[in-house]
């Protein structure tokens, strides 16, 4: 069965209670359920992982090269700082869609730069939590004709 990895970085475990004016009331559990439902409907499997630790996210990206066709990734604040996460994505042959709940371009200038965007397949920014579902749909659509359940291209 084809698999997607839903990966969330620091502080995203607090969705629903963290700055609701910016990130809304939806929890990470809600998001995981919504994305998993979409995957199930299309015969895909979802693996989900959140960590507040950069190295754990690097490890999850490395593991994805054996199992996942694509990575839906909200790197949180590491978006703007992490060469290690960028190198991890560059180092595995798994396409990544970068998702941000808020419109980072409307916010503080330090959020305007993403070290991950140049190594992403695409980005979804500022649409709220539905961005994660749209990323899943984009991957499923992209791999529609692909019958290979093995390693991601
Ligand atoms: C975020 C935007 C980042 O700048 C911030 O550090 C986050 C969340 C978003 O989803 O809008 O933690 O990635």
The residue contributing the CA closest to ligand 1 atom 7 is 76
- Residue in 53, 66, 100, 112 annotated catalytic: 100
Q: Which pLDDT score, from 0 to 100, does residue 148 have?
A: 55
Query: How many whole angstroms from 131 Cα to the centroid of ligand 1?
Result: 13
- The pLDDT of residue 29 is 98
pLDDT at residue number 145: 81
**9, 72, 77, 116: residue to mutate for ligand 1 pocket, most atoms within 8 A of CB:** 77
- The pLDDT assigned to 149 comes to 54
Which mutation among 111, 115, 123, 131 tests ligand 1's pocket best, with the greatest number of atoms within 8 A of CB?
A: 111
| Mean pLDDT, residues 123-144 taken together | 98
Any atom of ligand 1 within 6 Å of the Cβ of 79: yes
Say whether 62 is catalytic.
no
Please tell me whether the overall predicted TM-score, pTM, comes out greater than 0.75 for this model. Answer: yes
**Residue 146: predicted pLDDT:** 82
Span 5-41, pLDDT tens digits: 999 999 999 999 999 999 999 999 999 999 999 999 9
Mean of pLDDT values over 110-132: 98
pLDDT interval class at 51 (50, 70, 90): very high
Q: Is 74 in the pocket of ligand 1 (CB under 6 A)?
A: yes
Q: Flag the least confident range among 17-21, 29-33, 104-108, 149-153.
A: 149-153
Task: Output the DSSP codes for the chain.
Answer: --EEEEEE-TTGGGTTTS-HHHH-S--HHHHHHHHHHHHHHTT-EEEEEE-S-HHHHHHHHHHHHHH-SEEEEE-GGGGGT-HHHHHHHHHSS--EEEEESS-GGGS-GGGS--SSGGGSSEEEESSTTHHHHHHHHHHHHHTTT----SS--
100 annotated active-site = yes
Give percent above pLDDT 70 in the chain: 95
* Higher-scoring residue by pLDDT: 146, 30: 30
* Per-residue pLDDT at 153 exceeds 50: no
Nearest CA residue ID for atom 2, ligand 1: 76
Task: Return mean pLDDT, the chain.
Answer: 95
Structural domains in the chain, CATH included, are: 2-143 (3.40.50.9100)
Tell me the mean pLDDT in the region 49-55.
98
């Amino acid at each position: 069965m084809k698999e997607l990895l839903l990966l969330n970085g620091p502080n995203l475990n607090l969705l629903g209670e963290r700055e609701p004016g910016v990130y809304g009331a939806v929890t990470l559990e809600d998001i995981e359920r919504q994305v998993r439902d979409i995957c199930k409907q299309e015969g895909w499997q979802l693996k989900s992982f959140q960590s507040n630790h950069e190295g754990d996210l690097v490890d999850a990206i490395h593991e994805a090269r054996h199992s996942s066709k694509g990575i839906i990734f909200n790197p949180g604040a590491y978006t703007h700082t992490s060469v290690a996460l960028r190198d991890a994505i560059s180092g595995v042959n798994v396409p990544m869609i970068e998702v941000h709940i808020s419109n980072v371009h409307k916010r503080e200038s330090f959020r305007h730069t993403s070290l991950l965007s140049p190594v992403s397949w695409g980005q979804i920014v500022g649409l709220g939590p539905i961005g994660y579902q749209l990323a899943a749909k984009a991957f499923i659509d992209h791999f529609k004709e692909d019958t290979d359940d093995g390693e991601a291209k």
